[in-house]
Amino acid sequence: MSGAYQINRDKDPNGDDLPPYVAAPGGHFKGSLITHNGDIYGGDGLQDLVVRVGGKLWVYPGDGYGAVNIDRRQEILLPADAPAPASLTQILATGDITGDGRTDFLATVGDELWALTGYHGATVDQAIRLSSGWSERDLAIVADVSGDGVADMVYRTGASGRLLLRKGIAAGGGGTDLASLSSAANSSGGLDIEYGASGWSSASVPLLMGTPDANSDGIPDIWAVRADGPVRFHAGGRAALAGAGTEIIGKSAYWPIRIAIG
Ligand SMILES: [Ca+2]
Ligand SMILES: [Ca+2]
Ligand SMILES: [Ca+2]
């Protein structure tokens, strides 16, 4: 189904037979980065979509039916010292990981990893540069994986085609200490753990995305679009992926050429 629509501007407000809504214009989401993680706008309990497109960052309020009305989008304003939205290479809605009740984002900006914390419907409170070395990495999961209530990070390293797990440390005032996610040395245990052993290069898996728990074991999971056709579900484990994954959509030419999932 179409995930986006707009008001039908041809419709006569005094009444006619035209539909009230029509599809979003072709190319509306061209060049976009997309992510979602629960209700972050409006407090209506509906999933919202976060999109970087047209050089700006937006929230597209979800309509509760799996779609968004693009006329209702609202710009997310970043602090003055934040990277320009146009420079983002990935953005991931993480839910609230800092413990202030406001949703947070992690983003890569070329070689750099940034945290954009404290979104509350209009602006982001803080932009914090965490580390460098990210040009060949992709964020997959930022959520509690290990089961201690503290956010962890699963990322792909293109250099070895693996997934690695970095365990977070609780912050003194609640939530997760962002510095513990900035480098392996700062993390709980002091090193990154092999989470997916091999086969995770971007050539083999052009698109991957972590999500909150989808198979009811309480552990976040990973969805993978494979270059050879299928879409696979990989159940997360506390310290490594559990098993080899399950094929959800069979081999087809459709998915490997999609430009983004989120
Ligand atoms: Ca927060
Ligand atoms: Ca944890
Ligand atoms: Ca799970």
Tell me the per-residue pLDDT of 168-194, one tens digit each, with 9 for 90 and over.
Answer: 999 999 999 999 999 999 999 999 999
Structure tokens that stand for 30 in this block: 């061209």
Averages of pLDDT over each 10 residues, the chain, 262 residues: 93 93 94 95 95 97 95 98 98 96 97 97 96 97 98 96 98 96 98 96 96 96 96 97 92 90 88
Looking at all shown ligands, the one closest to residue 236's CA atom is: 3
Angle of CA points 90, 200, 57, to nearest 5°: 10
Ligand 2 centroid – CA 148 distance (Å): 5
User: What length is written for the chain?
Assistant: 262
Report which bound ligand comes closest to the CA of 116.
1
**HEC sequence for 73-97:** CEECECCCCCCCHHHCCEEEEEECC
Among the bound ligands, the one closest to the CA of 246:
3
pLDDT computed for residue 243 by the predictor? 84
Which amino acid would we find at residue 201?
Answer: S
Report the DSSP pairing between strands 68-69 and 4-7.
parallel
Tokens 């003194």 -> residue: 172
Bridge-based pairing of strands 49-53 and 193-196 is unpaired
What is the distance between the alpha carbons of residues 177 and 235, in angstroms, rounded to a whole number? 26
pLDDT of 16 reads: 94
Ligand nearest to the CA of 144: 2
Amino acid making up residue 17:
D
In the reported structure, the alpha carbon of residue 118 is separated from the centroid of ligand 1 by a whole-number distance in angstroms of: 5
Q: In a 3-state reduction of DSSP, which class is residue 224? A: strand
Q: Which residues surround ligand 3, an ion (CB under 5 A)?
A: 213, 215, 217, 219, 221
What's the Cα-to-Cα distance from 175 to each of 117, 181, 251, 256, rounded to whole Å?
12, 12, 41, 37
Give the three-state DSSP class for 124. Answer: strand
Three-state secondary structure of 164-202: EEECCCECCCCCECHHHHCCCCCCCCCCCEEEECCCCCC
Question: For position 244, what pLDDT does the model report?
Answer: 84
Cα separation of 251 and 122, whole Å?
41
Q: Please report which ligand is nearest the Cα atom of 220.
A: 3
Q: Which ligand is in closest contact with the Cα of 222?
A: 3
Q: What is the pLDDT of residue 2?
A: 85
Q: For residue 98, report the distance from its CA to the centre of ligand 1, in Å.
A: 4
